[in-house]
Homo-oligomer: A and B are copies of this chain.
């Protein structure tokens, strides 16, 4: 059951319902459509634009998102869409799709195959369905409210994803994309976190959340993220038995500030929140 969904819909019976399997299948088809676009452009010479926020963006990014949006517009024309590349439409709709066609653009641009596609569906602002798809690796995690999280690996079949136990923060392995994602206020908190855990792996982007859902790592702490960077992860982590919130322990929604802490074991999550809360 998706905690964020319950919090933002405390009085609706529908909150206890599972996400319709047709919606899950649609989300997977969206990833099926964007993956070939990403693979087509991966490791080819590209003219790289810099957007105003200085993040690198490629034709792959724009065309992959366009491929996803075409399907949503055709099949669910009243749903809203919020995408990193092509902006927002109908975001006051009950259902809003939140898209990051290439999460880890810097990985993509440097030829590292650990970039991913993030597809989230929110209802009343809370994430109820998410896909982390790794087009160059063939890995895919799919999570939905009321369903166990599913991991599929090209050539290696599919099955349920489960987090692993980890009793203490000191025993936990931490992942984060880069120390540069933390601002002046957040950086000392993150430094304390790296000192409190067993070890830290950088350069992980969205795959870290999938690996956490599958029990390969214990903790992800990030900051300064946009809704399309974190919403897909929520149903995936929760459906695998983990916990994912902002740094105050609150559910992640479309309105969150963009600070994320995800843990496989609730004990590690509690300890991590305490480290982040200290002044």
Assess whether B110 is in contact with A175, with CB atoms less than 8 Å apart.
yes
Interface residues on chain A, size class:
20 to 34
5 additional A-B residue pairs with CB within 8 Å, beyond A112-B204, A112-B207, A180-B200: A45-B164, A56-B199, A107-B201, A137-B137, A203-B204
Task: Give a binary string over A206-225; 1 marks a CB under 8 Å from any B CB, 0 the rest.
Answer: 01100100111100000000
Task: Give a binary string over A120-146; 1 marks a CB under 8 Å from any B CB, 0 the rest.
Answer: 000000000000000001000000000
Q: Collect the chain B residues with CB atoms within 8 Å of residue A137's CB.
A: 113, 137
Please tell me if A27 contacts chain B, counting CB pairs below 8 Å: no
Please tell me if A178 contacts chain B, counting CB pairs below 8 Å: yes
Which of B175, B179, B200, B203 meets A201, CB within 8 Å?
A: B203
Considering the chains assembled together, what is the distance between the CA atoms of A177 and B199 in angstroms? 14
Q: List 18 A-B contacts (CB under 8 A).
A: A45-B215, A56-B199, A106-B201, A109-B173, A110-B208, A110-B217, A111-B214, A111-B216, A112-B114, A113-B114, A113-B137, A114-B114, A177-B202, A178-B201, A180-B194, A180-B200, A202-B202, A202-B203
Please tell me if A90 contacts chain B, counting CB pairs below 8 Å: no
Considering the chains assembled together, what is the distance between the CA atoms of A217 and B108 in angstroms? 11
Q: Collect the chain B residues with CB atoms within 8 Å of residue A164's CB.
A: 45
Least CB separation from A205: chain B residue: B203
Please tell me if A192 contacts chain B, counting CB pairs below 8 Å: no
How far is the CB of A111 from the nearest CB of chain B, in Å? 3
Considering the chains assembled together, what is the distance between the CA atoms of A212 and B52 in angstroms? 27
How far is the CB of A213 from the nearest CB of chain B, in Å? 10
Considering the chains assembled together, what is the distance between the CA atoms of A106 and B113 in angstroms? 17
Considering the chains assembled together, what is the distance between the CA atoms of A199 and B203 in angstroms? 13
Assess whether A106 is in contact with B199, with CB atoms less than 8 Å apart.
yes
